[in-house]
Amino acid sequence: MTVERIYNFSAGPATLPLPVLEEAKEEFLSYQGSGMSVLEMSHRSKWIGQIFENAEQNLRTLLSIPKNYHVLFLQGGARLQFAMIPMNFLGGKSSDYILTGSWGKYAVDEAKSQGAVRLAWNGQDDNFNRVPKSSELDLDKNAAYVHYTSNETIQGVEFPTEPEVGDVPLVCDMSSDLISRPIDINKYSLIYSGAQKNAGPAGVTMVIIRDDMLSRIPDCLPKMLDYRVHADKKSLYNTPPVFSVYIVSLVTKWLLGEGGLAKVHRHNKEKAQLLYDVIDGSAGFYTVHATPESRSLMNVTWRLPSEELEKEFIEAAKAKGLSELKGHRSVGGIRASIYNAMPREGVESLSQFMTQFQQDKG
Ligand SMILES: *Cc1c(COP(=O)(O)O)cnc(C)c1O
């Protein structure tokens, strides 16, 4: 039986690599001869132990994660990290936030409930259409940490490289662009990422944390909110979301088979360029939200001349199997999320559709 699949441009939960879905289907009823589904297994079983080991090892290989970093698989989404980070690391000090979009704003609001927050940069007045240069940052040398969002999934603005913050620990929300390109882990004290954008299904949040950060944690926290507990128990303190971690292990294995992150990054740049080229060549029919230096490779966001036309665009695209292109409800317009798993053919179809739509309606 052949199954009809669409091109799904959803921002998250998002499209997964077809080979991963097929592998999961293949071993769904009996995982590696166990006679059980991964969904039915004790998290203390050898199989789940191996799945966690594989997921961690694959991430370590893909990202060249040094030994002095822990890789954790937690629950509560990136949203819980917004709170856990200040709870664990503020230590009575103030924190700096570089604010480049909606997710950063949520992170700031949550941190404010825990202590002092300064904005080292605020892109709100520019309608969050760009990221700052490091020279524009107003940093506090004594801050407990600097937090930024490498890719603002809603606005479609992405840091081309990490900001320079001196000796202050750098903390990053990479929910929508972790494992989309190589990064220098050594520049970070903590990276977190909800899996459901670029790495797997909802339910698991990956945290990469440098070992020395654990010594800053106060003793008053509930165990589930204390990174030391999860590092000590290797993410098996409570019952973890085993199936989500299993899919992450398959996605990361697939990426290694694709040739690693340098190659994946090149593909991602080419895919994004296909869309930005149509937009730039449209003589103003399509207008991109982000400024050229801040354009996201993961979420391309743009407008049409009217909301009427945007509605028509989304409907007509859907009829051609190009689905989930509506922009986030808070900003409107169009958003095409083109994570690692979106094949180049999907982006090519969309770019051809855009050109045709302009010819018909422009
Ligand atoms: C989706 C998203 C979040 C929220 O993730 P949850 O897992 O729903 O908590 C946070 N930050 C960024 C950058 C995101 O894209």
Contact 272, 264 (CB under 8 A): no
Task: Flag whether pLDDT at 332 surpasses 90.
Answer: no
Residue nearest to atom 7 of ligand 1 (CA): 77
Q: Which atom of ligand 1 is nearest to the CA of 154?
A: 15
Q: Can you give the pLDDT at residue 324? A: 98
Q: Is the pLDDT of residue 3 over 90?
A: no
| pLDDT exceeds 80 at position 357 | yes
User: Is the separation of the CB atoms in 290 and 129 below 8 Å?
Assistant: yes
Alpha carbon 345 to its chain's center: 22
For a pocket test of ligand 1, which of 175, 180, 198, 206 has the largest count of ligand atoms closer than 8 A to its C-beta? 175
Tokens of 148: 């930024």
Question: pTM to 2 decimals?
Answer: 0.98
Q: Pick the closest to residue 109 from 143, 82, 73 (CA basis).
A: 82
Q: Which two tokens stand for residue 222?
A: 């509930």
Q: Are 84 and 200 in contact (CB under 8 A)?
A: no
Separation between Cα atoms, residue 255 and residue 55, nearest integer Å: 12
Q: What is the pLDDT of residues 120-163, one digit of tens each?
A: 999 999 999 999 999 999 999 999 999 999 999 999 999 999 99
Whether residue 176 has its Cβ less than 6 Å from ligand 1: yes
Tokens of 316: 């007509």
pLDDT of 190-202, one tens digit each? 999 999 999 999 9
277 is an active site residue: no
Q: Does the CB atom of residue 244 touch ligand 1 within 6 A? A: no
Ligand 1 midpoint to CA 107 (Å): 10
Q: What is the mean pLDDT of residues 278-284?
A: 98
- Predicted pLDDT of residue 286: 98
Residue with CA closest to ligand 1 atom 4? 78
121 flagged as catalytic: no
Q: Express each pLDDT in 81-113 by its tens digit.
A: 999 999 999 999 999 999 999 999 999 999 999
pLDDT in tens, 34-89: 999 999 999 999 999 999 999 999 999 999 999 999 999 999 999 999 999 999 99
CB 197 within 8 A of CB 296: no
* 196-248 per-position pLDDT tens digit: 999 999 999 999 999 999 999 999 999 999 999 999 999 999 999 999 999 99
Atom 10 (ligand 1): residue with closest C-alpha? 78
Does the beta carbon of 105 lie inside 6 Å of ligand 1? no
Write out the two tokens for 208: 């990469």
Q: Whose CA is nearest to atom 14 of ligand 1?
A: 175
Q: Which atom of ligand 1 is nearest to the CA of 103?
A: 11
Catalytic site residue from 96, 105, 197, 226:
197
Q: Is 206 in the pocket of ligand 1 (CB under 6 A)?
A: no
pLDDT at 264: 98
pLDDT for the residue numbered 201: 98
By DSSP bridging, strand 299-303 and strand 322-323 are unpaired
Active-site residue 263, yes or no? no
- Structure-token pair, residue 58: 């694959």
Section 255-265 average pLDDT: 98
What pLDDT does 1 receive? 58
Query: Are the C-beta atoms of residues 7 and 323 closer than 8 Å to each other?
Result: yes
- 234-244: buried (b, 16+ CB within 10 Å) or exposed (e) per residue? bbeeeebbbbb
Whether the per-residue pLDDT at 309 is higher than 90: the answer is yes
46-63 vs 242-257: helix axis angle to the nearest 10? 40
pLDDT score for 174: 98
Rounded mean pLDDT of the chain? 97
Structure tokens at 66: 């040094």
The whole-number pLDDT of residue 329 equals 83
